[in-house]
Structure 1
Amino acid sequence: MNAHNWIDLAQDADTGIETLRAHFTGHAYDPHWHDSYLVGVTEEGVQQFHCRRERFHSTPGKVFLLEPGEIHDGDAPTEGGFTYRMLYLDPQWLERELSALFEEAPADSQLSFANNLASDQRLAQATSTAFHSLHHGELRIVRQSAMDQLLDQLTGHLHWRKRYHQDPRLPLVAHKARDYLHAHAQQDISLDELGAVCGVDRFRLTRAFKAAYGLPPHAYLVQLRLAKARRLLARGAQPAEVAMALGFADQSHMGRWFVRAYGLTPAAYRKRCSNLPDA
């Protein structure tokens, strides 16, 4: 990591919500995704990221909003870099908490952010307040009140959308390949094997997959493994055990990819989330 970059990560014991404050100069993150809903505020500088085939520039006071599975990256296009604070909201927790604010969800639907970037002063303030209360371990009643205020402000940016089992906008071959990768994420899958499953050669497969998901199959597989690694590490699993279980060549191999996606090592992430010592 760049000597000028830093990350401060914590996890709330009651909700499991992760809170992160970080500063980056130059390149911050490779394309990756999370299993959580991300709600963050840029504090200083210009935070550039790509998502939904668009390039965004988040400046101080703007709120960035990402759904689970949305591929995004991060860069600092201006001198001095950028600083931001962010909350990682578990999807089941979010839907359960919002049930009191939303009418009953339509059948076979999921919560969705209308836009990835918002200029909303009230939401920015609620996000910062919620971050501070969780990150610094305020009294439980203070944390709950802050999160309720955040959820109240979020409702204007959330809507229910149809949950696609097979998105009709994307090629069937890409769906098949994605499902196969999810089902066999720990295995050493070749492009030829994946192409055979989908009934196309590996060249057509790669073109279709990248057009659909923004990453070639091999990069998507790595990100899928990293998302699983993040969950296991947060529960206290040792990095070496996680690397072996998920099919990485070794712990250092997983570590290199983990740092490129999340900005810190698997051991550091595990320690900050689980508060467990290294074995």
Structure 2
Amino acid sequence: MNSAARSSNPSDWAGSFEPIERVTNRLVGAAFSPHRHDTYTVAVTMAGVQTFNYRREIRYSLAGQVLILHPDELHDGHCHDEAGFSYRAAYVPPTHVQAVLGGAELPFVANGVSTDPALIAAAFNLVVDCAGVEDPGAYEDALYDLAHAMNNAAARVATVRIANRTAVMRAREFLETAVVVGTRLDELEQVSGCDRWQLSRDFRALLGTSPYRYLQYRRVELAKRLLREGAKLAEAAHGAGFADQSHFGRTFRKTVGLTPKEWLRSDLFRTIVL
């Protein structure tokens, strides 16, 4: 049995990039014959054991591990046992990775399977957390983390340069005015006068977080204020610029460590930091 779901949802349009393909699949008693993609295959094994031939060796991916298959590399896929396996995948064009890395050689994850915590976290964010999210900035942010995690896993040495503080401060000031309406990297590029991916690197270097997450933090702060003023959850989500209440709940929990309802019941709800 091969049960697959391919996504063509508009949320998979990657901001200023062409759309990416996402797949959710469960394989039992079936196999993929040898084939190639012209994209990176970024897959998270959700359950079972995935077995495949890659670069003349048999590889295994267990639940919670990540596959990063380089473009144009021949591979197959089959079940390790009768229980089968399930996975979720995203197919990331190398041009997207190139945009982040600024023309550097594409990173190659030698074994195809990684247990590196940073790479797993980045892949899970791009493949699972960003699926169905309508905010293009979520993909751009996840792409940045994935590209650099792959680069680190490939043991590449990053070039040291001085960050453009003026551009970062311009971007930060603009983000403060765009909490509700939101923005994208191409807009920040125009505002700051700096290449969007270089701006992402410099923003992280000087402020410790990405432009996208900086905006999410400001949205959560605004939502907290609205909740303290008596707004309902749906009202706070909409008033702080979240696409829907589900997106609000996920982002709130990632930022605070509690769901909005748990936060409302906690002492933190009554704590205001001045």
Query: What TM-score, normalized to structure 1?
Result: 0.49
CA contact (8 A) 1:30 1:74 kept: yes
Tell me how far apart the structure 2 counterparts of residues 20 and 69 of structure 1 sit (CA, whole Å): 19
Measure how far apart 1:159 and its partner are: 6.2
1:37 alignment partner, one of 28, 37, 40: 40
Any stretches of 5+ residues in structure 2 without a counterpart?
157-274
Please name the residue that 1:54 is paired with.
57
Change (3 A) 1:143 1:92: closer
Structure 1 position 146 matched with structure 2 position 142: yes
Structure 1 unmatched ranges of 5 or more: 161-279
SS of 2:133 mapped into structure 1: coil
The aligned residue for residue 5 of structure 2 is 8
Q: Sequence identity, in percent?
A: 31
Alignment of 1:258-277 (within 5 A): none
* Closer/same/farther in 2, CA of residues 93 and 142 from structure 1, 3 Å limit: closer
Once the 2 structures are TM-superposed, how far is the Cα of residue 38 of structure 1 from its aligned partner?
Answer: 1.2
Matched residue, 2:81: 78
What secondary structure does 2:83 align onto?
A: coil
Could you tell me how far 1:25 is from its partner in structure 2? 0.7
Is the 2:45–2:85 Cα contact (8 Å) retained in structure 1? yes
* Cα distance change on mapping 1:65 and 1:134 into 2, 3 Å: same
Q: 1:24 & 1:42 partners in 2: Cα distance?
A: 11
Q: How many angstroms apart in 1 are the aligned matches of 2:124 and 2:144? A: 13
- Deviation of 1:140 (Å): 2.2
Indicate how the Cα distance of structure 1 residues 142 and 93 shifts in structure 2: closer, same or farther if over 3 A, else same: closer
Q: More deviation in 76-85 or 142-151?
A: 142-151
Closer/same/farther in 2, CA of residues 125 and 140 from structure 1, 3 Å limit: same
Look up the match of 2:126: 130
Residues 149 and 138 of structure 1: CA distance in aligned 2, closer, same or farther (over 3 Å): farther
Deviations 1:245-273 (A, max 9, x none): xxxxxxxxxxxxxxxxxxxxxxxxxxxxx
Q: Quote the RMSD (CA, aligned, Å).
A: 2.0
Equivalent residue for 1:69?
72
Q: Aligned-pair distance for 1:133?
A: 4.1
Rounded to whole Å, the distance in 2 between the matches of 1:159 and 1:10 is: 33
Residue 131 of structure 1 deviates from its aligned partner by 1.7
CA distance, structure 1, for counterparts of residue 145 and residue 43 of structure 2? 15
Question: Is it true that 1:24 corresponds to 2:23 in the alignment?
Answer: no
Greater CA radius of gyration, 1 or 2? 2
TM-score by length of 2: 0.50
Q: RCO (CA 8 Å, sep 6+): is it higher in 1 or 2?
A: 1
Question: Which residue of 2 is the match for residue 158 of structure 1?
Answer: 154
1:117 aligns with 2:134: no
- Contact 1:114–1:159 at 8 Å: present in 2 too? no
Please say if residues 61 and 121 of structure 1, whose CA atoms lie closer than 8 Å, have aligned partners that are also in contact. Answer: no
